[in-house]
Amino acid sequence: MSDKGDKIETIENAGPVGGPATRGQRFKRHCARRWWIYLIATLLVILAVVLGIIFGAIPKIAQDSVNDSTLQVDDLAITNPSNDRFTLSMNSTAHSHAPVSAHFSPQTFEMYLPPAEGEQIVPFMTLSVGRLDIKDTLTINVTDVVTEILDKPAYDLFSAQVLDNEKLSLGIRSNPEVNVGAIKFKVDYQKTVELKGLNGLKGIELFNPEILEEPLEDGTNMVTDGVIPNPSSFTLQVGDLTVDISVGPQKLGWSVVKDLTLYPGDNHVKIYNHINPTLIKSPLFLFSIEEPNTEITLTANSTVYNGEHISWLEKPLHAAPPVIALLNPQ
Ligand SMILES: *[C@@H]1O[C@H](CO)[C@@H](O)[C@H](O)[C@H]1NC(C)=O
Ligand SMILES: *[C@@H]1O[C@H](CO)[C@@H](O)[C@H](O)[C@H]1NC(C)=O
Ligand SMILES: *[C@@H]1O[C@H](CO)[C@@H](O)[C@H](O)[C@H]1NC(C)=O
Ligand SMILES: *[C@@H]1O[C@H](CO)[C@@H](O)[C@H](O)[C@H]1NC(C)=O
């Protein structure tokens, strides 16, 4: 720095003394007098390059790495059902390559069924999450968030797919703000995840039928134990589930599972049966409940939680093909 200063000094002084200046000398002198202009120009160029990186290249790199990231939903729980809202919990893992240390500001994920070609996205629920530090493996676990049903027909369709399908796709999108140091910018986040559904509650098994000499106050005259398999990673609170039961064309009556929550895996439940009173004493009925592998046809009739019929559970369960349960499986 001080070297340069001396040099400038020298050139300035040299001017008036040594005869007519050559072209080169004049240029040098010009440069020397205007040095600060060049300094500013150089700084402006550097600034433009830095700003270009910040507002052009960094967001592009961030968007690229968001696009390349993957999302896996490990578990989803839908509890406290009502016709307008429910409680949602989700455990999920995102894998990405974060080139720099960065974080997402709090954001809201919108969820939807992937639309058919040319159709619009119709979000039916949202999930807000707090600040997330971006790491190669990012755990996004959210517990007990009350979620409004934004679009009932779309949510009915989702619920039907969760109950009936072996597999379903769920779209998740948001428009989060990425923070790299003091720089902030928005990126588009959009992923489709594959989930396992409850597959029509196939494979229900019934055990230990016990006819009650003295029916319960609510009219229950037979109790059985049941196992309801849930092959999905959904936890689904159903409430009181009522099903009509029959053996072949013979209607038997109806059954209730009280306060049912279906967890992933096998669900062991108590079943309260209301068997037609004239049937319950018949030798044929008594014989059929002692036999191995009696096929009982279950047709869902209603689901009630908190005294309310939950239409997005009741409708698809009722509309689904009847479930064949095996009594005394062997
Ligand atoms: C990221 O993916 C979206 C579609 O999801 C696409 O529109 C966009 O061009 C992609 N951006 C980059 C930077 O690759
Ligand atoms: C998320 O994981 C935690 C810890 O393993 C677990 O207790 C919780 O039930 C999970 N949430 C859901 C929605 O399954
Ligand atoms: C997040 O969810 C995953 C998957 O269920 C679980 O293994 C992990 O323990 C959870 N982490 C926390 C902090 O709850
Ligand atoms: C089943 O539904 C029908 C109407 O579809 C109703 O009349 C009947 O009472 C219901 N049975 C039970 C046990 O809820």
User: Does the CB atom of residue 141 touch ligand 3 within 6 A?
Assistant: yes
In 34-151, alpha helices (H)? 35-52, 58-68
Q: What is the pLDDT of residue 20?
A: 66
User: Does the CB atom of residue 199 touch ligand 2 within 6 A?
Assistant: no
pLDDT by 10s per residue, the chain, length 330 = 444 444 444 444 444 455 566 777 877 777 777 788 888 888 888 887 777 777 677 888 888 888 899 999 999 999 999 999 999 999 999 998 877 788 999 999 999 999 999 999 999 999 999 999 988 999 999 999 999 999 999 999 999 999 999 999 999 999 999 998 888 889 999 999 999 999 999 999 999 999 999 999 999 999 999 999 999 999 999 999 999 999 999 999 999 999 999 999 999 999 999 999 999 999 989 999 999 999 999 999 999 999 999 999 999 999 999 999 999 999
Residue from 243, 244, 272 whose mutation best tests the ligand 4 pocket (most atoms within 8 A of CB): 244
Q: Please list, in sequence order, all residues whose beta carbon lies within 8 angstroms of the beta carbon of residue 219, skipping any fewer than 6 positions away.
A: 274
Determine contact, residues 163/200, Cβ cutoff 8 Å: yes
Ligand nearest to the CA of 78: 2
| Half-sphere exposure for 63 (CA within 13 Å, toward CB) | 11
Q: Are strands 250-262 and 132-133 parallel, antiparallel or unpaired?
A: unpaired
pTM attached to this predicted model: 0.83
In angstroms, what CA-CA distances link 218 with 1, 112, 210, 272, 274? Answer: 96, 41, 16, 9, 9
Ligand nearest to the CA of 235: 2
Q: What is the pLDDT of residue 75?
A: 95
In 238-323, alpha helices (H)? 277-280, 283-290, 311-319
Which residue has its alpha carbon closest to ligand 3 atom 14?
141
User: Does the CB atom of residue 64 touch ligand 3 within 6 A?
Assistant: no
Q: What is the pLDDT of residue 227?
A: 98
Q: What is the pLDDT of residue 15?
A: 44
Closest CA to 86 of 315, 306, 242: 306
Q: What is the pLDDT of residue 2?
A: 45
Which residue has its alpha carbon closest to ligand 2 atom 4?
91
User: Does the CB atom of residue 233 touch ligand 2 within 6 A?
Assistant: no
Q: Which helix (H) or strand (E) holds 181?
A: none
**Could you tell me the distance, in angstroms and rounded to a whole number, from the CA of residue 75 to the centre of ligand 3?**
9
Q: Where are the beta strands (DSSP E) in the chain?
A: 70-79, 85-95, 103-104, 107-112, 125-129, 132-133, 137-148, 167-174, 177-180, 183-186, 189-196, 205-211, 222-230, 234-247, 250-262, 265-275, 294-305, 308-309, 323-327
Q: Which atom of ligand 4 is nearest to the CA of 302?
A: 14
Q: What is the pLDDT of residue 28?
A: 78
